[in-house]
Amino acid sequence: MDKIKKAGSVLYKIYFGVGIFSIALMTCCVIFAVVARYCFGFSHKALEEFITTVFAFSTFWGIGICFIENEHVTIDSIFAMFPRWLKIGASVFNFLVTIVVLCVMVKFGAAYAIKFGSQISSGMEIPYIYMYGIIPVGCALGVVCALIKFCQFLCGLTSYERGRISAEKEV
């Protein structure tokens, strides 16, 4: 079990590192593009298209990171007022809806990338498959991360119930 946790930790660090690198790269490119445009009157369409592509990449790549870090959307102040059974039900519902939506995004994102991926971009002059391909890839990684967190959630429920039952037996 420790080897699995260690491997998961290494994979997460790589996954997170790629996300951080993409944000840093995008930031540097934006700063360069703004300085070049406003100080030197130079604007390059390939750089603008690259910035947009890296932005889309970081957005879809970050879906899984949000799940791992529990940074997805819930209104904590309202959710905290729910009784335990309603919190569990709402969490299960949220996980299931999110997984289904991400699976739909994988399916239709892949179809879109395949259908329009052979076209050549005007700025970087590369096939759009490299730009559109992040949609199904990022959503598939999001599904994996959501499933991992869902399994952890369910395992936490069973360990809570075992602890509650053993505490009742002691009393």
Please write the tens of the pLDDT for every residue from 20-70: 999 999 999 999 999 998 888 888 888 889 999 999 999 988 888 888 887
For the chain, what is the domain count? 1
pLDDT of 149-160, one tens digit each?
899 888 887 765
Whether the predicted pLDDT of 166 surpasses 50: no
The Cα 143–Cα 36 span in angstroms is: 40
The Cα 91–Cα 94 span in angstroms is: 5
SS3 (DSSP) at 143:
helix
The pLDDT value recorded for residue 81 is 83
Crossing angle (nearest 10°) for helices 45-68 and 2-40: 150
Cβ-contact 74, 98 below 8 angstroms? no
Domain that holds residue 79: 2-170
